Amino acid sequence: MLVTGGGGYIGNALCKRLVEEGHQLTVWGRSRPGAVAQAAYSFVSYDLNAPQLPGSLSDIDVIIHLAHAMDDRECLKRNETATEALRDAARAFDGLVFVYVSSQSARIDAPSPYGRIKWRIEQLMDGANEVVVRPGFIYGGAGKGAFGMLLQVLNKSPVIPVIGWNTQVQPLHRDDLTQAFIQIVETNHRQRLYSIAMVETVAFSLLLKNLARHRLGRRVLTLPVPVSLALAGAALCRMIPGLPTVPRDRILGLTGIVAMDTTASLENLGLVPRDLIAGCRDRPRSSRRALINEGRILLHYIGGEQPSTQLVRRYVRALQALGLSSPVSLPPMSGRWPMIMRVHEPLPGTASPLARRLELAVSIAEASPGGARLFAAYAPALRVVAMARLLLTLGVELILMPVRKWRR
């Protein structure tokens, strides 16, 4: 799996998720995805302006092309040449899937050069395994990139200028977009074009108010500003050092939005975007403690006794090395009685994040002197006793099986 532009706002989340799903990941970009353990992927420095691709695609099955240079007008055009070069290289490999991440503003007559160039690049994607994704207005998750800037403004200023009298957007939580990429990669009935966002449009001012309220715990006023004034303001901002610069294209981009019908795409992927309030509420939280807790519960469950802190720490280190840094959800009582995991454990053969964690916990528990006692019958024991205990275990298993099935 290759993600270009993996160091950005979307890229970070996508890369993290891909690694969690067990994909072998290569990232090409200007920066690394800081949210992902370095050992979990390989990184190649990539500049859209460079005449040559930085590496071979020979190990790649899927490319998700996020990289987009925004610096200036010249640069916009180079996106097209670079994408074409990447596409041509990809076409040399049968079956390689190329996912191009475009924009809701992509139109032949878009008011912004950004929208126009996105449209032109979309036209390049006419091969059998080439897919275009048009996401709506992306928000949520870690405060990085344009979204981070927005949060900053919301956090500082009590009055927020909003471009246009009644600008409407179709919000899309970043993690829903990530989910959409995962589904697109996995589906067998891939569409050529995906429009992904909430089905209904929402006033941009409402999105901002909700973000301020639920994410930052603030109330803000929004003030409609005509487009021309906003552009002038942005130009002014650029001249005064220390003020955040808002690219002209971003402002124009917001004005050129035409509502998309996303129902067919969402249906194809079986995706239901989260509602606005829930999406605005998310707060990045520190997970190390949760991972330690998870390790303690799972290792206790597997070993039948309190695990040593060394073993728990090794579990957490392993998760981090493998890029699995978010904790899985465990039943509330499992902290006190890890053995209730026996009812909660996914049925054999189910692939789920919890099943994967259990598999890791088993391997880590085994590779220790305590593990040798538990897993390997080196020590002589009374065979009758051993067999009786085994039968008891299997009996309990038989009784619990229907409960586990039902829980699914």
Partner 1 sequence: MSDTDPGPDVIIIGSGPAGVSAAWPLLEAGLAVLMVDQGRTAKPDAIAAEGGSLHDLRTGDGGQWKRFLGEDFSALVPRGLVSPKLKVPGQQYVFDGFHTAYGLRTDNFHAVGSLARGGLSNVWGAGAYVYDDDDLADFPIARSDLAASAAVVARRIGLSGSRDDDMAAFYGDDMPLQPALELDARAEKLLQAYARRKPALNTDQFQLGRARNAVLSQPLGARGACGYDDMCLWGCSRGAIYNAAQELVELKKQPHFTYRSGLLVRSIEGGANSYAVVCAAADQRPVRFRSKTVVLAAGTIGSTVLALRHLRHFDRDIPLYSNPTLAVPLVLPGFLGGVLPRKNFSLGQLGFRLRTAELTDAYAHGVLFAASGLPASAFIGQIPLSRPAAIRLFRALQPALLIANCFLPGRFSRNFLKVSDPAATGGVAISGGYQPGLDKVIKSTTRAMTRHFRKLGAYAVPGGARASEPGADIHYAGTLPMRADGTGSSAAPHTSSLGELAGSPGLYVVDGAVLNQVAAKNPTFSIMANADRIARQIARRLKA
Residues of this chain that bind partner 1 (CB under 8 A): 22, 39, 56-59, 89, 92-95, 301-302, 304, 310, 314, 317-318, 321-322, 342, 345, 348-349, 356, 358-364, 366-369, 371-381, 383, 386-387, 389-390, 393-394, 396-397, 400, 404
- Residue 269 Cβ, how far from partner 1 at the closest point, in Å? 24
- Residue 78 Cβ, how far from partner 1 at the closest point, in Å? 23
Selection from 355, 335, 344, 342 nearest residue 407 by Cα: 344
- Residue 358 Cβ, how far from partner 1 at the closest point, in Å? 6
Residue 223 pairs in a beta bridge with: 161
- Residue 185 Cβ, how far from partner 1 at the closest point, in Å? 16
Query: In degrees, to the nearest 5, what angle opens at C-alpha 177 toward C-alphas 97 and 167?
Result: 125
Distance of CA 307 to the CA centre of its chain: 32
Strands 41-45 vs 25-29: parallel, antiparallel or unpaired: parallel
Q: Which residue has the tokens 């949520």?
A: 140
The number of beta carbons lying within 10 Å of the beta carbon of residue 342 is: 14
Residue 101 pairs in a beta bridge with: 133
- Residue 62 Cβ, how far from partner 1 at the closest point, in Å? 13
Q: Which residues have CB under 8 Å from 176's CB, separation 6+?
A: 196, 271, 273, 274, 279
Could you give the CA distance from residue 36 to residue 34 in angstroms, rounded to a whole number? 5
Residue whose CB is less far from partner 1, 236 or 392:
392
Residue whose CB is less far from partner 1, 57 or 266:
57
Selection from 327, 349, 329, 324 nearest residue 341 by Cα: 329
Residue whose CB is less far from partner 1, 336 or 383:
383
- Residue 342 Cβ, how far from partner 1 at the closest point, in Å? 5
Residue whose CB is less far from partner 1, 39 or 232:
39
Q: Which two tokens stand for residue 94?
A: 């049968």
Could you give the CA distance from residue 45 to residue 50 in angstroms, rounded to a whole number? 11
First CA to last CA distance, the chain: 31
- Residue 324 Cβ, how far from partner 1 at the closest point, in Å? 10
Residue whose CB is less far from partner 1, 80 or 366:
366
The number of beta carbons lying within 10 Å of the beta carbon of residue 318 is: 15
Residue whose CB is less far from partner 1, 219 or 378:
378
Residue whose CB is less far from partner 1, 248 or 342:
342
CB-based burial of residue 24 (10 Å sphere; 0-12 exposed, 13-18 middle, 19+ buried)?
middle
Residue whose CB is less far from partner 1, 156 or 389:
389
DSSP 245-272: P--HHHHHHHHT------HHHHHHHT--
- Residue 352 Cβ, how far from partner 1 at the closest point, in Å? 13
